[in-house]
A = this chain, B = another copy of it.
């Protein structure tokens, strides 16, 4: 597994390579097609531990000569999200690469408002109070969004 907390990513080029290789394997084993646009989109997301807006992604795709209209980016992002290779950060209306694809997980995010870094971790929400409330109410949870915004260690220090 790559690192769990993006704020502590020491060797990002290794992190990118690993994630991309995992994505390849993940798609191959499921008969999903990681086409050039999709692969490039994932690379764009993997470039940094940040969330990118669809239009940021689109601009990068356009730079690479791979389509310049919104649906191109949205379709690629939708594919990656459905395939579990990326996540949408609802609080930012933006997208980020998954840091451990394949591991069936309930992702949770720490979002730094100082440097926009996004770190992915896990939660066991269904076992906590929300899960209990849901079961108590007879509510069937299908998807969860867990995001915390604040300041990462570096940004906290900078403002001290």
List chain A positions with a Cβ less than 8 A from chain B: 4-5, 7-8, 90-91, 93, 108, 110, 112-113, 119, 121-125, 128-130, 133-134, 136-153, 156
Contacts and interface: CB of A to CB of B under 8 A. Distances in A.
A134 to B, nearest CB: 6
Give how many copies assemble into the complex. 2
Contact of A110 (B134, B148, B151): B134
A129 B139 contact: no
A151 B140 contact: yes
B136 A5 contact: yes
A129 to B, nearest CB: 5
Interface of A (DSSP majority class): mixed
A146 B143 contact: no
Nearest to A151: B140
B108 A130 contact: yes
B113 A122 contact: no
A136 to B, nearest CB: 7
B124 A139 contact: no
Contact of A134 (B124, B145, B150): B150
B153 A139 contact: yes
Given A124-B129, A128-B123, A144-B147, A110 B90 contact: no
Given A7-B139, A144-B146, 9 more contacts: A5-B137, A90-B91, A138-B153, A139-B148, A139-B151, A140-B150, A140-B156, A141-B150, A144-B148
A143 B150 contact: yes
